[in-house]
Amino acid sequence: MRADRLVAALLFLQARGRVTAAELAAELEISERTARRDLEALIASGVPVYAQRGRGGGWRLVGGARTDLTGLTSPEVQALFLAAGSSAASPELRSALRKLLRAVPEPLRPHAEAASRARIVDDQDWSRTAVMASGPHHTALERAVLDGVRVRLGYARPGGVPHERTVDPLGLVLKAGHWYLVAGTPDGLRSFRLGRVTSADPTDEPVRRPADFDLTAAWRTLVTQLEDRLLAATVTARADQDALPVLQRLLGGRLSIGRLLEDGRREIEAAGPSVEVLAAQLAGLGARVEVVGPPQAREHLARLGRDLTARYGALHEAAAHSHFPLGTYYTEDANVADIA
């Protein structure tokens, strides 16, 4: 802490030009006696600081000397404040940026200040749902990673019952708006989505870190394994042209669009975790998509069709024979609006 305080004292001197021991003590939240000792320590370490007695006195840097503790270039300063200077930054980060701003050379400060105001992060989508929510245990897991201690982790998959296990937290990763914990387990490296963590209790045991562990390389391996599972099956189909935008939104990079057919449709190929999941996804487009293969995809669609007919067929039959056909809406004054 002493080294950090001396750096903070030097930056305060640099920013103010002249300070009293009382002003430095208030800034660093220390006693005046400690502030004087810190200023004397700067002199002893070779920093050109001198004390001026009398009215208007205080502590100054000799000849207005300045020190650049950052070594940052203008583009680096802007990139740093753009990345971390948003209104969504934590109080600790905003405090760190204010301190860093004092260390930035005077000509670069306007660039840094402009960059800190140039971007904000809104973590809600258009339905006002948080898309970057990390869960209530983010801070505890981050602390465990930094302190290098094992954690008793409660975790529940969607629709599942929470289970607790002891893991070795090795790093945190932000991917597509979601935070993940990379941790060592008895079954090897695993990733845990923080939004599904139900508890995180640090232990007194040190983390068991693999030799030469590299978080970037470990994450790439985990991503590759997950992608292999997510893309384990493919389905081929023929799609109407007006269905392509919907398919692209639904499947993203898992959709491959092939050649144009004589009837105006397109050949497509969709990848997913299983044939059944893909068939269910494509079923929502109705007759606009005709699944060609594999056979089990067509069989699954036929079963879905029979289940839907059993569920809704009787309703449709009753509506067809009623005074008010299915697919129309009657207002109080008997005007009809088509909502099909």
* pLDDT(331) > 70: no
Highest mean pLDDT among 37-41, 164-168, 226-230, 231-235: 164-168
Q: Is the peptide bond before 294 cis (omega within 30 degrees of 0)?
A: yes
Q: Mapping DSSP to helix (H, G, I), strand (E, B) and coil, where does residue 30 land?
A: coil
pLDDT band at 98 (very low <50, low <70, confident <90, very high): confident
Closest CA to 103 of 77, 137, 64, 134: 77
Record the pTM.
Answer: 0.59
pLDDT tens profile 246-292: 999 999 889 999 999 999 999 999 999 899 999 999 998 999 999 99
β-bridge mates for residue 328, sequence order: 338
Query: Quick one: average pLDDT of 17-24?
Result: 86
Over 80: is that where the pLDDT of 307 sits? yes
Token pair belonging to 57: 């006195």
Strand partners, 58: 52
Tokens of 328: 């129309």
- The pLDDT tens digits of the residues spanning 122-137 come to 667 777 776 666 678 9
Residue 321 has pLDDT above 70, yes or no: no
Each residue of 199-212: pLDDT tens digit? 999 999 999 998 88
Q: How confident is the model at residue 92 (pLDDT cuts 50, 70, 90)?
A: confident
How far apart (Å, rounded) are the C-alpha atoms in residues 22 and 24?
5
